[in-house]
Amino acid sequence: MQKVLDGISKNNFVVLGRAGMDIFPDPPGTRTEDAETLKVGLGGSSANIAVGIVKLGGQASLVTSVSDDSIGKYCLKQLESYGVNCSFVRAVGGEYRNSLAVYESRVEDHQTVIYRNGAADFQFTKEDAEEVNYNDFGALVTAGTVFASEPSRSATFHAFDLARTAGLPIIFDIDYRPYSWPSPKIAEEVLSQAGGLSDVIVGNDEEFGFMAGGINKGLDKARALSQSTAQIVIYKMGENGAITFVDGDEILTGIYEVKALKPTGAGDSFMAGFLAGLANNVSLHDSVLRGSACAAIVVGKPGCAPAMPNNHDLDIFLTQHRGPSDVKA
């Protein structure tokens, strides 16, 4: 456990996974099919996490592939503008394209459409993984979408091996997105394998349930992982808060209730806020709450990376909010 916290405390993360372009109708509340004005922003689970970490005072280097076209250049320029290190972002040509996410800034009848065919980020290779000097970082972070297709899947497992050899803790956001995977069976097997190699695992009740083969088995799956290979497992339950499994204990935390504008980006912001808390010697309990606060901030604003809070935003939110919801064992 202490070794994991020591790595995170360096506040310098190597983050594996995609950067994409988000497209959302404006003004908020507009259905996509009714839109006359569309806004764009940086998105992609791993890119969002990296941006969130940097906004909260940490360092993050993204390792991925982007398309060698205007969309890929947009993503690269946005990452750099936020302060994310892009030394390990490789442009790929041919028919590969950056992913696009079209989603609405509304909760009721929310619609999201993801374009991932021929995704450039899946061209992340073992050679790309070997370009990174893992000794320069404190921890490796990734989201489950990197495992959905080859060569990215094998390359990410190779990166796990290299990071482990360098002594880095591995932090895994399950982030199961069915549209990216060839079949649910393959996803279950691969995500379970990744979970078994990780020191910190974060997911929601549906994701752990999926890994376990049934939604009613998810809690037991999370608990079992914490008792075998993982040091910290966070089992998120939406409005019912979260259970953090660590050293045989189960820590219950609530959520910060807000009027949500959209559901998008909450998990990415949670991860960034949680890691930033631990990196700054905040207790595990309060770091989970800081992650929840960051998630609450992001769902209240349009966009994902643009909505990630900085420390000033977070401090104001925590000061003005009445506090997290009560949870019962």
Domain boundaries, the chain: 2-18+46-66+121-320
CB atoms within 10 A of CB 240: 14
Q: Name the pLDDT band for 117 (thresholds 50, 70, 90).
A: confident
Q: Which of 254, 252, 267 is nearest to 299 (CA)?
A: 267
pLDDT value at 329 more than 70 = no
pLDDT value at 270 more than 80 = yes
pLDDT value at 131 more than 70 = yes
Residue 212 has a pLDDT of 85
According to DSSP, the residues that pair with 66 across neighbouring strands are 91
pLDDT value at 145 more than 90 = yes
Q: Which of 329, 125, 313 is nearest to 237 (CA)?
A: 329
Counting Cα atoms < 13 Å in the Cβ hemisphere of 317 gives 24
- pLDDT of 55-70, one tens digit each? 999 999 999 999 999 9
pLDDT value at 260 more than 80 = yes
Q: Name the pLDDT band for 231 (thresholds 50, 70, 90).
A: very high
CB atoms within 10 A of CB 40: 15
* Average pLDDT, integer, range 137-151: 96
Residue 261 has a pLDDT of 94
pTM beyond 0.75, yes or no: yes
Q: What is the CATH number of domain 2-18+46-66+121-320?
A: 3.40.1190.20
Q: Name the pLDDT band for 326 (thresholds 50, 70, 90).
A: confident
* Average pLDDT, integer, range 237-242: 93
According to DSSP, the residues that pair with 114 across neighbouring strands are 101
* Average pLDDT, integer, range 22-37: 97
Per the CB < 8 A criterion, the answer to whether 226 and 245 are in contact is yes
**What's the chain's average pLDDT?**
95
- pLDDT of 94-112, one tens digit each? 999 999 999 999 999 999 9
SS3 annotation, 213-269: CCHHHHHHHHHHHHHHCCCEEEEECHHHCEEEEECCEEEEECCCCCCCCCCCCHHHH
The fraction of the chain above a pLDDT of 70, given in percent, is 99
Sequence-separated contacts (24+) of 218-223 with Cβ below 8 Å: 219/243, 223/250
* Average pLDDT, integer, range 21-29: 96
pLDDT value at 213 more than 90 = no
Residue 36 has a pLDDT of 97
